[in-house]
């Protein structure tokens, strides 16, 4: 790639890294936040849930806004809002302010993330160069998820507020670099068509309620969850009816005729459900059962971050040799094996005995994240790349909510007391949720093997970074 192309790619990769570490760092800082602000368990849960609702609920609207209003404009505006409200979270003196700041930060990420991905998928021609760019983008983004807990543990040992202030500094650097490097282009032509506001409000409300229902399932009565999900399903039905008739729909329903897009989104949801559930259980096992400190637990999981080095170097070679689908499937199998191996963790297991499971998780991200992004966006019209990115990251966020809610519910149900063996039994029972998600993802991923290995046989072209809306 040319120097400017690398510059744009690294700026956008920095943004997705920022989003990943923001989520991961917060998780490790929660106990310190509760102690300092005097939050109840319910209020502390909302510090996480507020971000999930803003992010997952507005992602489709954010992706389509990037297509219609201009990807560069939406990206820069959302990054600025992300910066401001992350700083507000750092200055929060009470739970209400922190929860509100997290909701708006999640909403900003919902506009920033699909806009950034679509800048790559429209700025690099489909083929080897775009695939290489997405590999780098995916590697750095995955690194945010895997390294965030380590960085968060170190910052929390100083003061939990640094978990919010550090992203402010990183956001400012990315914002300045993005304004200078991302090419300008004319505002997209809308042909006088109205923005699908009602469709946007309907699907946003539906996704917010669905994520809320899943996120709170372990903390409320079954009837409440069923009612919330039922309302969400009804709103989705209304949304589909609106989209069928609207001249400029928020989501063109025909996009779901792409089997690869549908499979990629389903796999993405299952993969993130497994990873976030696994990460949650490993932290509980190390800190609650084994008595490890926050920093010790964070450093123990550092090995998962091997994807930062391997994904942009090894994965592209494997994709060129075998194609996206087989490499993705290998990553999914690695995740399933890693989850299953952790079932053997006992009361006094050494770190060496736990290491294979963590290494396999790092390999899973190395092999799966980049090819999954490519499969989800290849073959999609340029005018709908923001929508495709919004769909994929909605699946990621919804999967994370399902995984956390699932392992929490099973862990609570299977843990009979505070005795060490009872805690271990609860962790092992809950680990079946990530294992199940990974096994289903492997089955779905196997269907991709019948597809043509699009990028494995393409001749190296000479695409140039185009102007980005």
Please identify which residue in the block is written with the tokens 């495709």.
388
Strands in 64-142 per DSSP E? none
Whole-number pLDDT of residue 468: 40
Joined tokens for residue 183? 């090419």
| 389 burial via Cβ count (<10 Å: 0-12, 13-18, 19+) | buried
Confidence check: pLDDT of 14 > 50: yes
Once rounded to an integer, what is the mean pLDDT over residues 330-349? Answer: 94
Distance CA 20, CA 108 (A): 14
pTM beyond 0.95, yes or no:
no
Query: Cα 133–134–138 angle (5° rounding)?
Result: 125
Residue 457 lies in a domain: no
Q: Are residues 110 and 15 in the same domain?
A: yes
pLDDT digits (tens, 9 = 90+) for 81-113: 999 999 999 999 998 999 999 999 999 999 999
Whole-number Cα distances in Å, 399 to 166, 319, 462: 27, 25, 37
H or E, element range at 467: none
DSSP 114-142: HHHHHHHHHHS-TTHHHHHHHHHHHHHHH
Q: Are residues 294 and 401 in the same domain?
A: yes
Q: Are residues 241 and 380 in the same domain?
A: no
Query: Three-class SS of residue 466?
Result: coil
pLDDT digits (tens, 9 = 90+) for 264-276: 999 999 999 998 8
Expressed as residue numbers, the domain containing 173 is: 1-184
Once rounded to an integer, what is the mean pLDDT over residues 180-196? Answer: 68
pLDDT digits (tens, 9 = 90+) for 244-297: 888 777 778 888 888 888 999 999 999 999 988 898 888 888 888 888 887 888
Whole-number pLDDT of residue 451: 55
Q: Are residues 168 and 34 in the same domain?
A: yes
Distance CA 176, CA 165 (A): 17
Q: Are residues 212 and 353 in the same domain?
A: no
Contact yes or no for 372/270 (Cβ under 8 A)? no
Residue 458 lies in a domain: no
Q: Are residues 219 and 230 in the same domain?
A: yes
Joined tokens for residue 58? 């507005």
Whole-number pLDDT of residue 454: 42
Among candidates 296, 333, 331, 12, which has minimal Cα distance to 141?
A: 12
CATH of residue 407's domain is: 1.20.1250.20
List CB contacts of 26: < 8 A, sequence separation 6 or more: 47, 48, 51, 102, 152, 163
Contact yes or no for 95/34 (Cβ under 8 A)? no
Q: What is the DSSP letter of 248?
A: S
Distance CA 126, CA 381 (A): 11
Whole-number pLDDT of residue 452: 47
Whole-number pLDDT of residue 450: 57
Confidence check: pLDDT of 428 > 90: yes
Residue 467 lies in a domain: no
Q: Are residues 15 and 148 in the same domain?
A: yes
Q: Are residues 242 and 256 in the same domain?
A: no
Residue 191 lies in a domain: no
Q: Are residues 205 and 144 in the same domain?
A: no
Q: Of 184, 213, 228, which residue sits at a domain end?
A: 184
Q: Are residues 236 and 274 in the same domain?
A: no
Q: Of 158, 184, 210, which residue sits at a domain end?
A: 184
Residue 126 lies in a domain: yes
Among candidates 180, 182, 155, which has minimal Cα distance to 166?
A: 155
Confidence check: pLDDT of 393 > 50: yes
Q: Are residues 410 and 293 in the same domain?
A: yes
Counted domains in the chain: 3
Among candidates 76, 126, 139, 77, which has minimal Cα distance to 305?
A: 139
pLDDT digits (tens, 9 = 90+) for 161-171: 999 999 999 99
Q: Are residues 222 and 298 in the same domain?
A: no
**Mean pLDDT, the chain, as a whole number?**
83
Residue 332 lies in a domain: yes
Output b/e per residue, 127-156; b: 16+ Cβ within 10 A: bbbbbbbbbbbbbbbbbbbbbbbbbbbbbb
Residue 461 lies in a domain: no
Distance CA 281, CA 342 (A): 10
Give the pLDDT band (50/70/90) at residue 311: confident
Helices (H), 38-94: 41-69, 71-91
Contact yes or no for 332/438 (Cβ under 8 A)? yes
Residue 99 lies in a domain: yes
Torsion of CA 83, 85, 90, 92, to 10 degrees: 170
| Dihedral sign, Cα of residue 376, residue 380, residue 382, residue 388 | negative
pLDDT digits (tens, 9 = 90+) for 102-150: 999 999 999 999 899 889 888 887 777 888 888 888 778 777 876 787 7
Give the pLDDT band (50/70/90) at residue 365: confident
Whole-number pLDDT of residue 162: 92
Angle between helices 95-123 and 41-69 (to 10 degrees): 30
Whole-number pLDDT of residue 85: 94
Distance CA 440, CA 249 (A): 32
């Amino acid at each position: 790639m040319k120097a400017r192309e690398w510059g744009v790619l690294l700026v956008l990769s920095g943004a997705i890294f920022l989003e990943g570490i923001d989520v991961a760092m917060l998780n490790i800082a929660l106990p310190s936040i509760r102690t300092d602000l005097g939050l109840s368990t319910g209020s502390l849960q909302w510090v996480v849930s507020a971000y999930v609702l803003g992010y997952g609920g507005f992602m489709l609207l954010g992706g389509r806004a990037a297509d219609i209003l201009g990807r560069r404009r939406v990206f820069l505006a959302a990054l600025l809002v992300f910066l401001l409200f992350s700083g507000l979270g750092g200055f929060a003196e009470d739970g209400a302010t922190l929860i509100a700041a997290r909701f708006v930060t999640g909403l900003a990420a919902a506009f920033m993330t699909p806009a950034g991905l679509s800048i790559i998928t429209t700025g690099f021609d489909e083929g080897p160069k775009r695939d290489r760019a997405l590999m780098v983008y995916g590697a750095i983004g995955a690194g945010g998820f895997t390294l965030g807990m380590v960085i968060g543990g170190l910052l929390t040992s100083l003061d939990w507020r640094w978990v919010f202030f550090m992203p402010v500094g990183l956001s400012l650097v990315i914002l300045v670099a993005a304004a200078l490097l991302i090419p300008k282009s004319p505002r997209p032509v809308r042909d006088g068509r109205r923005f699908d506001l009602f469709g946007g409000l309907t699907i946003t409300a539906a996704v917010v309620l669905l994520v809320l229902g899943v996120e709170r399932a372990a903390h409320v009565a079954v009837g409440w969850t069923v009612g919330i999900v039922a309302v969400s399903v009804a709103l989705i039905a209304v949304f589909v009816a609106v989209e069928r008739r609207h001249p400029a729909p928020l989501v063109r329903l025909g996009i779901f005729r792409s089997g690869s897009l549908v499979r990629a989104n389903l796999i993405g949801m299952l993969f993130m459900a497994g990873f976030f559930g696994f990460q949650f259980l490993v932290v509980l096992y190390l800190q609650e059962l084994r008595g490890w400190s926050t920093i010790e637990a964070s450093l123990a999981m550092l090995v998962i971050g091997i994807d930062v080095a391997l994904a942009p170097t090894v994965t592209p070679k494997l994709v060129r040799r075998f194609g996206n689908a087989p490499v993705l499937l290998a990553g999914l199998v690695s995740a399933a094996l890693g989850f299953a191996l952790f079932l053997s963790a006992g009361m006094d297991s050494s770190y060496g005995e736990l290491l294979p499971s963590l290494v396999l998780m790092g390999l899973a991200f190395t092999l799966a994240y980049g090819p999954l992004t490519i499969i989800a966006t290849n073959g999609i019209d340029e005018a709908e790349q923001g929508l495709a990115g919004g769909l994929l990251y909605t699946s990621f966020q919804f999967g994370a909510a399902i995984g956390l809610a699932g392992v929490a519910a099973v862990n609570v149900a299977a843990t009979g007391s505070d005795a060490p063996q009872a805690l271990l039994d609860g962790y092992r029972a809950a680990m079946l949720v990530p294992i199940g998600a990974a096994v289903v993802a492997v089955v779905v991923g196997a269907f991709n093997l019948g597809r043509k290995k699009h990028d494995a046989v393409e001749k190296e072209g000479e695409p140039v970074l185009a102007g980005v809306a």
